[in-house]
């Protein structure tokens, strides 16, 4: 089982090849969560994720004969980019197998580092089987995304840097997919800061450790915004470390992750993908547990598709009342639209979208249905606008 010495050796081996990312307190997140939050910003790595730490360490340990054979790996995106980048820097030929559902941005970025990208399968398991077949037929070296001690030690350098740079801490909160990040981090933390609590985070559809510290369960899988930790089963070697050193597992919902992405963007001014916001989602989901603690978490990835980010922000705005969708039954006569716009404008609302339907939705030929989406400052402001409109028109919220 790896320990602090392995992580320190990895740190020396990859020095200068990966960025020593900032470790910073976030006052906005701390106020929102009721505890002191420190962020480790690995979303600022060259490939936008901590994953290149493990890839850099594993590739640096290859023999000359292994480099000549080339490497292959399977990944939903971040590990793929890490292997592709460091293979390119070392002049190693690389093949990356990615599931077909992988976000387009991650596929494009991986290919931009010069690796050959193969899209195969509708799941990570199917992609893994194909990668193993290619590995045997092409006699390449397989670089496992998490179930490899060199990869685990490389990922652990994130926590090593965090603990070297941060002030006093009570708790580390780390997301779990295959387990490379939390196992490497735990190996470093338990020796550097004896007594520190280590908490793992999984999303509902991929919560194989939901019965922790009991036996693993087989989660249902399926769609998740946190595709970076969408792994059905944690790796064998990471699991051994987790069982020994991790104190607790928290399972978070899709909504919690979406809200954490929004708060990370608005509060901390950091772009985080779903996996990168999962640790914050856990803190927000159990505020009583974390209250007044000194907590550190990694923003471990920032590779989120622009459309998904935009939709996530809008969904969060709708949920917390800052975006308001109203459907109104109005008389079909001149001046009504102007009156509605005046009511909204005088109260400081901002109209974003209007849909005016006469033929299909109105209950009477003398009436029309109007759908308005508007922006408010907060839920109380939204209620004020809706109440003012309701004094003159039949209004319901959608």
Which numeric CATH code is attached to 52-142?
Answer: 3.40.50.1100
**Contact (Cβ atoms closer than 8 angstroms) between residue 298 and residue 44:** no
DSSP-derived secondary structure letter, 16:
T
Write down the pLDDT at residue 203.
97
Write down the pLDDT at residue 267.
96
Low-confidence ranges of the chain (pLDDT < 70): 214-215, 358-365
Write down the pLDDT at residue 172.
98
Q: Which residue has the tokens 């993908």?
A: 273
Question: Could you give the CA distance from residue 96 to residue 51 in angstroms, rounded to a whole number?
Answer: 14
**Contact (Cβ atoms closer than 8 angstroms) between residue 272 and residue 43:** yes
Task: Judge whether 4-50+149-316 and 52-142 match in fold.
Answer: yes
Segment 33-75, tens digit of pLDDT: 999 999 999 999 999 999 999 999 999 999 999 999 999 999 8
Architecture of domain 4-50+149-316: 3-Layer(aba) Sandwich (3.40)
Write down the pLDDT at residue 363.
63
Question: Could you give the CA distance from residue 288 to residue 283 in angstroms, rounded to a whole number?
Answer: 9
Write down the pLDDT at residue 69.
97
**Contact (Cβ atoms closer than 8 angstroms) between residue 142 and residue 71:** yes
**Contact (Cβ atoms closer than 8 angstroms) between residue 113 and residue 46:** no
Strand runs labelled E in 120-184: 141-142, 171-175
Domain 322-397 fold: Alpha-Beta Plaits (3.30.70)
Domain ranges of the chain: 4-50+149-316, 52-142, 322-397
Write down the pLDDT at residue 211.
74
């Amino acid at each position: 089982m790896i320990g602090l010495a392995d992580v320190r050796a990895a740190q020396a081996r990859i020095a200068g090849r990966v960025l020593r990312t900032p470790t910073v307190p976030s006052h906005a997140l701390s106020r929102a969560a009721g505890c002191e939050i420190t962020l480790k910003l690995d979303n600022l790595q060259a490939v936008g994720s901590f994953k290149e730490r493990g890839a850099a360490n594993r590739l640096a340990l290859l023999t000359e004969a292994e480099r000549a054979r080339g490497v292959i790996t399977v990944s939903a995106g971040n590990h793929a980019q890490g292997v592709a980048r460091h293979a390119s820097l070392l002049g190693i030929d690389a093949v990356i197998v990615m599931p077909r559902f992988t976000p387009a941005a991650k596929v494009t970025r991986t290919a931009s580092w010069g690796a050959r990208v193969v899209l195969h399968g509708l799941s990570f398991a199917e992609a893994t089987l194909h990668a193993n077949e290619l590995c045997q037929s092409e006699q390449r070296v397989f670089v496992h995304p998490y179930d490899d001690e060199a990869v685990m030690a490389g990922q652990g350098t994130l926590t090593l840097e965090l603990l070297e740079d941060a002030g006093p801490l009570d708790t580390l909160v780390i997301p779990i997919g295959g387990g490379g990040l939390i196992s490497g981090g735990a190996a470093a933390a338990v020796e550097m800061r004896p007594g520190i609590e280590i908490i793992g985070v999984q999303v509902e559809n991929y919560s194989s450790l939901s019965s922790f510290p009991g036996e693993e369960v087989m989660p249902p899988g399926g769609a998740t915004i946190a595709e970076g930790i969408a792994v059905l089963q944690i790796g064998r070697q990471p699991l051994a470390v987790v069982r020994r050193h991790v104190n607790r597992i928290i399972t978070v919902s899709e909504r919690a992750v979406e809200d954490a992405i929004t708060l990370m963007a608005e509060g901390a001014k950091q772009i985080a993908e779903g996996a990168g916001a999962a640790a914050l989602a856990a803190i927000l989901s159990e505020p009583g547990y974390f209250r007044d603690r000194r907590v550190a978490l990694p923003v471990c990835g920032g590779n989120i598709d622009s459309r998904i980010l935009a939709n996530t922000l809008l969904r969060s705005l709708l949920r917390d009342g800052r975006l308001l969708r109203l459907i109104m039954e109005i008389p079909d006569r001149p001046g009504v639209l102007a009156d509605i716009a005046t009511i909204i404008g005088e109260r400081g609302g901002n109209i974003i979208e209007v849909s005016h339907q006469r033929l299909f939705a109105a209950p009477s030929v003398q009436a029309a249905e109007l759908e308005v989406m508007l922006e408010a400052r907060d839920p109380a402001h939204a209620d004020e606008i809706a109440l003012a409109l309701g004094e003159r028109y039949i209004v319901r919220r959608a």
